[in-house]
A and B are shown apart, each in its own frame.
Chain A
Amino acid sequence: MSTAHEAHDDEHGHADQGSPFIQHHYDDAQHQFDSGKLGIWLFLAQEVLFFSALFVAYILYRVHHPEIYSYAHKWLQVKYGAINTAVLIFSSLTAAWAVRAAQRNERKLLIACLAVTIGCACTFLVIKYIEYSHKVHEHILFGRYFDPCVSPGGSELLTKHNDCKGTKGTVEWSLDQAGEIDLLNGKATTGCFEQSKFDVDPQEEGLQAECHVFEVKRTRNAKGEWNETGRREITNRCPEETIGEGTGEMGAQPKSGEAEKKKGAAFPCWKAAIQPAVCVPVMVPGKASSPQFGVLVEYGDEEERGEDIAIDAKCDPSKPLAEPADIFADKAETERVGAKAIKPIHHLTTHEEHELESLGPPPAHTNMFFTIYFAMTGLHGVHVLFGVFVFIWLLIRAVKGQFNDRYFGPIDFAALYWHIVDLIWIFLFPLLYLIH
């Protein structure tokens, strides 16, 4: 403190500060270090906020669509995630050790610690690269590019690009629900209605149907057969949160306001989504069984509704929205609709088949999980990459011998940064990989 203003008077006289890296406007080395430390903490606070939006998005989608998470996380390999966690934790240790080494003037140890940290960071990135390239290969990507090699069975491959290994015939879902969908007996709470005029790719995200849904009143006659006694069109669509969740809990209690809680008026609304995955062959007596795409219509819970009410529907797929030409958009859009050429590359191995079967069909908007996965891990990866550059810079400076017990701020700050990168990963790993 006492030398502060003398230092100003003598502009280049920093010899007594212990390092040539103390800037003029600081009182002394301690002042510079304290300022830097506060600065880096604020920067880290900023980083946390930067990531926070993604965590909020994660939480929101998880609350609204838990089925997506419990389905999609199985596509991630816990093995890789776990290795990466270990690697990062170890590198955090070496980073902290580097600070200690600098404070004790142990230059060789410092260099070794920095080198190991860089090595760990690179290992992390390599493993991440392996994970990503698998995903790219299998079209398990974000948003529009989520296009996995799975299908509900039948003759046609459901991916847009048809370059999966295997053909569509190789994997078929064995769904229990298939047997339960029995319109004639009115047991279904969910109807799967054929849509013969489908000429669009039903796997297309977000495609919805325009339906006229009828509530059919009926009675059982003496022979035990159902006779229709009347029908009326139900105009109410279900409100926001239930739309588009074709394979959510069947017949979930419709939520459309307190006013409609009464029994009898309990099913004021219906929802529909094109759900090829669920519309597997329906065994309808007298008709040939064939796999069909269809429109899934849900209308209340059967138990509460009573079996004397069934549903019927006539649906047309609404057209996808016309995408405006966008100079920045890729050209993938034009490939969305069009003739498909099936190019079987190779048939799936038994193991792959079993794996895919156990996964089951993806719920609607599974792409959102991967959007969040790639956004979070991608942004984290960029931070790791940035850390690598920072540590390389520090390594060069350490080799030059610029750090000592009076000037080790940059190493301390970089280590702090590295800890927060590590910490974020420690949150990401269970949130993305370890979902039950």
Chain B
Amino acid sequence: MKRYVLALFVALCTWSVAHAQPAGSGAPVPPPPVQGADQSMNAGGSASPTAAPAAGSAATPGAGSPSTTKPGLAWYDELAAKPKDVSTNFWLPKSVNKVADESDHMFIACVALSAFFFLAIAIAVVYFVWKYRGMSMVRKIIPSPAHNDALEITWTVIPTIICVFLFYFGWRAYIEVVTPPQKAVEINVLAWRWAWEFKHENGVTDNNLHVPIGEPVRLVMTSKDVLHSFYIPVMRVKQDLVPRRYTYAWFEATKPGTYQMYCAEYCGTNHSQMKPAVVVHQAGMTTTWDDQNGHHSVVDRGYENYLNDKAAESTNMPPVDLGKMLYEKKGCNACHTIDGTPRVGPTWAQKDWGKQIQMSDGKTVTMDENYVRESILSPLAKARPGYPPSMPSFEGQLKEKELAGLIAYIKSLKQ
């Protein structure tokens, strides 16, 4: 029986490896920085960060390459929208955190240890069952002792010693993983149902996490409503976010790319949708990456430029684009669709713009800018029937301009 299990296990492992390989090899692996782009960056860009877009124009999507980019997507959002790097070394995703190695070694050591003990026990069980299988009616009496204290002590002491070692090394690695260095880029993380907001040191906020490479990043995190958990598998970082309390995490990215982040603490309906991208930016230079099909280039202009461009973006943006950005950034997309299907809340692709619509208390109200505005600021005042009254108020969280942008965006979606 045991042999079947082993066979199954081996088959399973093979299967998963076979499956993982294409995914791994197909994932975008950043090629070494293009020399030309590098130099142009150094020549023209390094003097003034604001000149970088001009200097890197050759690689700008839409300008040089046959781009499939959605119009209006900024370079950093395009990076975030890239397929995630999911390459693995069978058990674990490939680590891109400088301090995660020791923890990975512990994992591998533990796999080896477990495999050894499991195989030893399984082989013993199978062998004994086969060797001493009973014949019906015929009893074989083989005298054997019912206890052996020396043996008992041996198999008490050996696991104890192993456990002491596992504990010690695990603890040591843990201390390293949770102790940030003195100097670190600090990013504030705020989570709520069901979105993330990352606030950088210059005040820009985004719903994807952008971090520099080779610099420690320290996250100061809290939650607005229920527990969430900040989890980046490639960084081996996980930390719960607790409302009205700050928790911390840190990592130092070693490889540029786009990775997946998750919410790991169950938080309700769209728990499984709380997964922003983590973009690790190349250090201070422009790099062109091809996506896996090779016909689309994405530009990485570095973390500094991200901060500057992002700050610039939020000041001059057409209202509809601003609204579209906020739709994702503020987590509206968790509950509202733009394709006409209802989710937790009504869809934004309204058929009823300008018409009278029914409220849950029986009254009617005209669907117009004023109604949308009121619905954002005090959602429960005029709730529509058929939807749970779960929308939080955005009073105080949106600037007037952003509010106008959202209204414009919703208006643009009317059918």
| A–B in direct contact per CB < 8 Å | yes
**Residues of A participating in the B interface, judged by any CB pair closer than 8 Å:** 206, 208, 210, 235-240, 243-244, 259, 316-319, 321-322, 324-325
| Shortest 8 CB-CB contacts between residues of A and residues of B | A322-B392, A240-B245, A325-B389, A239-B246, A319-B396, A324-B390, A322-B393, A319-B395
B15 to chain A, nearest CB (A): 44
A316 to chain B, nearest CB (A): 6
Which of B242, B244, B389 interacts with A324 by CB under 8 Å?
A: B389
Q: In the complex, what distance in Å separates the CA atom of A210 from the CA atom of B379?
A: 22
Q: In the complex, what distance in Å separates the CA atom of A321 from the CA atom of B180?
A: 32
- Interface check B201, CB cutoff 8 A: yes
The answer to whether B246 touches A321, judged by C-beta atoms less than 8 angstroms apart, is no
- Interface check B173, CB cutoff 8 A: no
Within 8 A of A (CB), among B168-185: 180, 182
Which of A259, A321, A322 interacts with B182 by CB under 8 Å?
A: A259
Which of A237, A244, A316, A321 interacts with B220 by CB under 8 Å?
A: A237
The answer to whether B186 touches A318, judged by C-beta atoms less than 8 angstroms apart, is no
Main secondary structure of the interface of A (DSSP, over half): loop
- Interface check B380, CB cutoff 8 A: yes
Q: How many residues of B contact A (CB 8 A)?
A: 25
- Interface check B388, CB cutoff 8 A: yes
Q: Which residue of B lies closest to A317 (CB)?
A: B396
Whether A319 contacts B393 in the complex (CB less than 8 A), given A236-B220, A240-B245, A325-B388, comes out as: yes
| Across-interface contacts of B392 in A (CB, < 8 A) | 321-322
The answer to whether B244 touches A235, judged by C-beta atoms less than 8 angstroms apart, is no
Q: Which residue of A lies closest to B395 (CB)?
A: A319
- Interface check B391, CB cutoff 8 A: yes
B5 to chain A, nearest CB (A): 41
Known: A235-B188, A321-B225. 11 other contacts (CB 8 A): A208-B244, A237-B220, A259-B180, A316-B396, A318-B396, A319-B393, A319-B396, A321-B392, A322-B380, A324-B389, A325-B389
A15 to chain B, nearest CB (A): 48
Within 8 A of A (CB), among B184-212: 186, 188, 201
Q: In the complex, what distance in Å separates the CA atom of A349 from the CA atom of B392?
A: 44
- Interface check B224, CB cutoff 8 A: yes
Whether A243 contacts B244 in the complex (CB less than 8 A), given A324-B389, A324-B390, comes out as: yes
| Across-interface contacts of B224 in A (CB, < 8 A) | 321
| Across-interface contacts of B380 in A (CB, < 8 A) | 322, 325
Q: In the complex, what distance in Å separates the CA atom of A206 from the CA atom of B225?
A: 13
The answer to whether B389 touches A235, judged by C-beta atoms less than 8 angstroms apart, is no
Q: In the complex, what distance in Å separates the CA atom of A236 from the CA atom of B187?
A: 10
The answer to whether B389 touches A206, judged by C-beta atoms less than 8 angstroms apart, is no
Q: In the complex, what distance in Å separates the CA atom of A316 from the CA atom of B224?
A: 16
Q: In the complex, what distance in Å separates the CA atom of A317 from the CA atom of B395?
A: 11
Q: Which residue of A lies closest to B181 (CB)?
A: A259
| Across-interface contacts of B220 in A (CB, < 8 A) | 236-237
Q: How many A-B residue pairs have CB under 8 A?
A: 46
B190 to chain A, nearest CB (A): 11
A88 to chain B, nearest CB (A): 39
What are 16 sample pairs from A and B whose C-beta atoms fall under 8 A apart? A206-B244, A210-B396, A235-B186, A235-B201, A237-B246, A240-B246, A240-B247, A318-B396, A319-B393, A319-B397, A321-B225, A322-B379, A322-B391, A324-B388, A325-B388, A325-B389
Q: In the complex, what distance in Å separates the CA atom of A318 from the CA atom of B223?
A: 13
| Across-interface contacts of B388 in A (CB, < 8 A) | 324-325
| Across-interface contacts of B201 in A (CB, < 8 A) | 235
| Across-interface contacts of B186 in A (CB, < 8 A) | 235-236
| Across-interface contacts of B393 in A (CB, < 8 A) | 319, 322
A50 to chain B, nearest CB (A): 26
A184 to chain B, nearest CB (A): 29
A314 to chain B, nearest CB (A): 13
| Across-interface contacts of A238 in B (CB, < 8 A) | 246
A207 to chain B, nearest CB (A): 11
Q: Which residue of A lies closest to B224 (CB)?
A: A321
Q: In the complex, what distance in Å separates the CA atom of A321 from the CA atom of B220?
A: 20
| Across-interface contacts of B247 in A (CB, < 8 A) | 240
Q: Which residue of A lies closest to B391 (CB)?
A: A322
Q: In the complex, what distance in Å separates the CA atom of A259 from the CA atom of B179?
A: 9
A242 to chain B, nearest CB (A): 10
Q: In the complex, what distance in Å separates the CA atom of A316 from the CA atom of B399?
A: 13
B100 to chain A, nearest CB (A): 21
A22 to chain B, nearest CB (A): 41
Q: In the complex, what distance in Å separates the CA atom of A244 from the CA atom of B220?
A: 17
The answer to whether B389 touches A243, judged by C-beta atoms less than 8 angstroms apart, is no
Q: In the complex, what distance in Å separates the CA atom of A321 from the CA atom of B396?
A: 12
Q: In the complex, what distance in Å separates the CA atom of A238 from the CA atom of B188?
A: 13
Whether A243 contacts B246 in the complex (CB less than 8 A), given A235-B201, A324-B390, comes out as: yes
Within 8 A of A (CB), among B295-348: none
Identify the interface centre among A237, A318, A321: most chain B CB within 10 Å of its CB. Answer: A321
| Across-interface contacts of B245 in A (CB, < 8 A) | 240, 243
Within 8 A of A (CB), among B226-285: 242, 244-248
Within 8 A of A (CB), among B13-51: none
Q: In the complex, what distance in Å separates the CA atom of A243 from the CA atom of B247?
A: 12
Q: Which residue of A lies closest to B390 (CB)?
A: A324
Q: In the complex, what distance in Å separates the CA atom of A259 from the CA atom of B246?
A: 17
A235 to chain B, nearest CB (A): 7
Q: Which residue of B lies closest to A237 (CB)?
A: B246
Q: Which residue of B lies closest to A238 (CB)?
A: B246
Q: Which residue of B lies closest to A325 (CB)?
A: B389
Q: In the complex, what distance in Å separates the CA atom of A145 from the CA atom of B224?
A: 23
A153 to chain B, nearest CB (A): 28
| Across-interface contacts of A235 in B (CB, < 8 A) | 186, 188, 201
| Across-interface contacts of A317 in B (CB, < 8 A) | 396
Q: In the complex, what distance in Å separates the CA atom of A316 from the CA atom of B246?
A: 19
| Across-interface contacts of A243 in B (CB, < 8 A) | 244-246
Q: Which residue of A lies closest to B380 (CB)?
A: A322
| Across-interface contacts of B244 in A (CB, < 8 A) | 206, 208, 243-244
| Across-interface contacts of A321 in B (CB, < 8 A) | 224-225, 392
Q: In the complex, what distance in Å separates the CA atom of A318 from the CA atom of B243?
A: 13
Q: Which residue of B lies closest to A210 (CB)?
A: B396
B218 to chain A, nearest CB (A): 10
B150 to chain A, nearest CB (A): 38
Q: In the complex, what distance in Å separates the CA atom of A316 from the CA atom of B397?
A: 10
Q: In the complex, what distance in Å separates the CA atom of A174 from the CA atom of B312?
A: 50
B144 to chain A, nearest CB (A): 38
Q: In the complex, what distance in Å separates the CA atom of A208 from the CA atom of B224?
A: 12
Q: Which residue of A lies closest to B268 (CB)?
A: A324
| Across-interface contacts of A319 in B (CB, < 8 A) | 393, 395-397
